[in-house]
Structure formats: C-alpha cells, structure tokens
A and B are shown apart, each in its own frame.
Chain A
Amino acid sequence: MRTHKVFIVFVFVVVWEVVAVLANSRFLPSPLHVGTTFWNLLSSGALFRHAAVSLARVLAGFLLALAVGLPLGVLMGWFPKMENLSVIIEMLRPIPPLAWIPLAMLWFGIGFQSKAFIIFIGAFFPILSNALLGVRETEPYLVEAGRVLGASDSQILRNIILPNSFPSILEGLRIGLGIAWMCLVAAELTGLNPPLGLGYLIMEARDLGRADTVMAGMIAIGVIGYAMNIALRQLEKRLVRWRP
C-alpha cells in the first residue's frame, strides 16, 4: 500500500518534470526548481514565520467558531424551540466565507481580526451543524434508558447526549478546520498587514513573477492542511475507541 503511494507521487513528479521541460516557461518551473526554492525558504526560516502567522490566525478563528458553534449546535439539538434558529443559519450557510471578505475589511480592516473573522465564518457552520446533528440523532431509546435509570435532564445531556454525539462533533471540528485553512489562504490574499502568512507569501511571489515561490508556498499550504487532517483523524481514533 505504502509503496503504491510512493510510486504514485513519483509518477506525478516525473510527469510534472516532463511537462515543465516541454513547456519551457518560467511560469511552470520544474519540480527540482520548486524543491530548491522550498528548501531555501525552509532553511532561511521564512517559511516557518509565514506558517506560524497563518496558523495563529487559523487557531484564533477556529477556537472562536468552536466556542460559539459547539454550544449553539448542542442547544439547538436539545431544545426544540432553539431549532427555529436554523431558519437564519440555513440562510447564512450558503454564503461562501469569501463573500464575507469585503464586510470583514470594512469592519475589522486588513489586520489579524479581519482574517480571524473569515476563518470563524468558515469553521462555524460545519462545527455547528455536526454538533446539532449528533445531538438530534441520538436514539430516543438511549435517552429513555437514562430516564428510567433516574437521570435528570442535565444528566442526560452531559452523560448520554454529549458522549454519544462526540464522534459527530469531532467530525465537525475536522471539517471546520479544513475549511478554516482554505479560508485563511484566501483571506490572506487580500490583506497586507502584517506582510506575513502563507497566502501573502504566494501573492507577493506572484507580483514578482516567481512561480517557483508560489508553488513552494502552495506545497506548504497543502502539507500543513494534510497534516492537520491526519492529526485530527488520529485523535478521533484514539478518543472514540468505543465505535465499531
């Protein structure tokens, strides 16, 4: 399995190399060229600085989305009256996070807050709807089983609904983090203050006509997003051992 994956990556790189040589354009650098640029960015520490700023933005927006979306989703799933809120949620949800960028700029300028806000929007909906779904789809007989054993409403929520919805909640966090990461890069394409972040890095490189740096930045974005996804999946496996 593993050798298959390595082979596929190898083929991809070879095809890229061949196309790059045939195209012979400075806008399509070869894998070796991009690799060298990537290494230079890495060893100079520039890549880390950009990535650290990007990660901080994602973390801020993501934690905010968690703090608001998770409790709201649980409450909406638990109290039938709260579910009426979904009228508003369902109307806001189809608006792409990127469509919020102009408003974010007007409200928060082009700094940290503005980017964190876009990320918040991106991560909020999957976190909310997965929490809501997890709570609502808890089988009624589990709730009744708790009731006949004497559990109060709050004990049922804490000791049955929440642990039972946990896999769904974690799934929401994983999807939310993925979307947050995508929104981040887009948000960084628009703002220059401070002039850091992976999105900024590739945008600046475009202005300089440095396709190799653009690609190195893209690779960094992909690798970090991939790693975050894997890390959360591992966490999920570890925390939800009770699942078949």
Chain B
Amino acid sequence: MITLEQVAKTIGELPILEAVSLSVKKGQFMCLVGPSGCGKTTLLKCIAGLRTYEGKIRIDGRLSQGINPKIGYVFQEFSLFPFLTVKGNMEFGLRIQKKPRKEMDDIVASLLDLFLLQGFEHAYPHELSGGMQKKVAIARALATDPEILLMDEPFVSLDAQTRNMLQKELLRIWNKTHKTILFITHNVDEAVFLADRVMVLTRRPATVKEEFLIDLERERDRTSPEFVSVRKEILKELEEEYVEQVDRGYKGL
C-alpha cells in the first residue's frame, strides 16, 4: 500500500508538485493521468526514493525514505543495461542482493516463462524489439519480488499495436503476481483499459484534480459505451488543464 500525504516538490524557484495526497491499496492498479510536463515523473521518482521532497510518503504504513526494496520501477526510456544480456539484466537486482546462483537461475527461468521470453535469455537489448525490451524491463523490476511496481509511461514510445499487446500482457502478469501498480500515462485510453482507479492531475504544479473508479469487467472492450463514456469524462477533465495552460501561456506573453 502506498500513501502520499501532502507531497510537494520545488526545483529552484519552480514548484513542480503541490500537496499531492493519494493512496493506492495493496494489489490495486492505479493510473495517474495528467498533461505532459505536469510533474508526473517527478512524483513517481519521489515515491521511488530517487528525488527529495516535502511531505510524507508511506509504504505499508511506514515512512519511506530513500530507495525501498519493496518498490520496483519501470522507466519511460529504454533503460535496459545495454552491456548485459536479457538474463544479466533480470539478475541485476538479485546480484546486488547477493542471492545464490541457483536461486537466481530459478527466478530468471520463471520470469522468462511468465513473460514468454524463453530462448532470448542470452540476447542483448539491441537485438530485441522495443516491445520485448519493455517486457524485459518489467521482468527486471519484478525479479527482486517487490510489492509495488511504479511504471512511468512505459509504453509511450511503442506503436499502437505493440502497446495494446503489452497492456494485455501487463494485466495478465498483474493477475498472476498481485502487485500494487502505480502507472503513469498521458493516454486516457490506456488508463481506462488498465486501471481500477484513475487519478487526474492538474497542470504544473501538479495536484490531484479528480478521481475516477473504473468499475468495468476485464478484459475491457475499448469500444463499449461504458468504456467510451468514462474516457470522455476523463478527457474533459484533462482538456480543462490544457486549456488553462494555453491561457496562462498567452498571459505570459
């Protein structure tokens, strides 16, 4: 479980986050949507312990400071270590934890199974497609068995087909592993397809604007009237933020 209380962040003079409070229950899939550049990534990095912040972040009720082994992170970039094979990447966190060879091999084997990557363990990242690299990145984050998975627009640079396929894969893996997932996207369709709850953030400095419960049976049909109507509502909230951003831009002139 993740709890944020009044989390704020300023870089220099620029306020990035303003009193963000939210909580994600254990096993829940939550999406954060917000206009580009609103501070979503910063928020996620604060939770991961990669940035300093004001306010309180609790993991399972305990104040979290610095890097937390209960948290796994998937980056927006293609962030696999290019000099390690698929197996080497998956093992990275386990090596840091000095796990015995046998245990590492077992974990990697089960990850290769789970992600349908058998036969690719000795491939280097540049030999994989973008979609496969993303799968390996998720597997790497899961290798140390964290409770929470933070995902920062992981599918943003992929084509629509690969993106849809990976969304389904992610749900399948979430069903099997019961991780708590906090997933950032600016793609409302993606948020509604994946999440139990969708939080809309304001433009920078980001704060929580509105929350939506997505109470639709999975696997969701992107063309169903219910899906489309939730999507519309969220888009409306989001567009308000864009409009204000533009207005403020003109005032700035």
Q: Which of A142, A155, A159, A242 contacts B126 (CB 8 A)?
A: A242
CB <8 Å contact, A150 and B69: yes
Tell me the B77-95 residues at the A interface (CB within 8 Å). 77, 79, 81-85, 92-93, 95
Residue A99 is within 8 A (CB to CB) of chain B in the complex: no
Scoring B residues 58 to 98 as 1 if CB is less than 8 Å from chain A, else 0, what string do you get?
00000000010101110111010111110000001101110
Interchain pairs with CB closer than 8 A, number: 64
Are the CB atoms of A241 and B72 closer together than 8 Å? no
Nearest chain B residue, comparing its CB with the CB of A160? B81
Q: Which residue of B lies closest to A162 (CB)?
A: B83
Question: What is the chain A residue whose CB lies nearest that of B146?
Answer: A148
Flag if A164 contacts B50 (CB, 8 Å): no
* B96 & A242 in contact (Cβ 8 Å cutoff): no
Contacts of A144 in B (CB 8 A): 45, 50, 73, 75, 79
Give CA–CA (A15, B163) in the complex, Å.
62
Q: Inside 8 A of A244's CB, which chain B residues have their CB? A: 126
Of chain A, the residue at the smallest CB distance from B48 is: A148
Q: Is the interface of A mostly helix, strand, loop or mixed?
A: helix
Q: A150-B69, A160-B81, A163-B83 are in contact. Are A141 and B75 (CB under 8 A)?
A: yes
The answer to the question of B207 belonging to the interface, with a C-beta cut-off of 8 Å to chain A, is: no
When chains A and B are docked, how far (Å) is the Cα of A242 from the Cα of B71?
Answer: 29
Q: In the bound complex, how far is the Cα of B141 from the Cα of A146, in angstroms? A: 10
Is B82 a contact of A164 with CB atoms below 8 Å? yes
The total of chain B residues at the interface (CB under 8 A) is: 29
Chain B interface secondary structure, helix, strand, loop or mixed? loop
Q: Does B144 contact A (CB under 8 A)?
A: yes
Cα(A165)–Cα(B64), bound, Å: 33
Please determine whether A145 and B81 come into contact, CB atoms closer than 8 angstroms.
yes
Instruction: For B125, list chain A residues within 8 Å (CB).
Output: 242
Flag whether B212 is at the interface (Cβ < 8 A).
Answer: no
Residues 122-147 of A at the B interface (beta carbon under 8 Å): 139, 141-142, 144-147
Chain A residues closer than 8 Å to B96, beta-carbon distance: 149-151, 155
Q: Complex: how many Å from CA A145 to CA B83?
A: 14
The answer to whether B81 touches A142, judged by C-beta atoms less than 8 angstroms apart, is: yes
Residue in chain A with minimal CB distance to B66: A147
Decide yes or no whether A48 CB sits under 8 A from chain B: no
Check A164–B83 contact: CB distance below 8 A. yes
- Contact with A142, one of B49, B50, B71, B79 (Cβ below 8 angstroms): B79
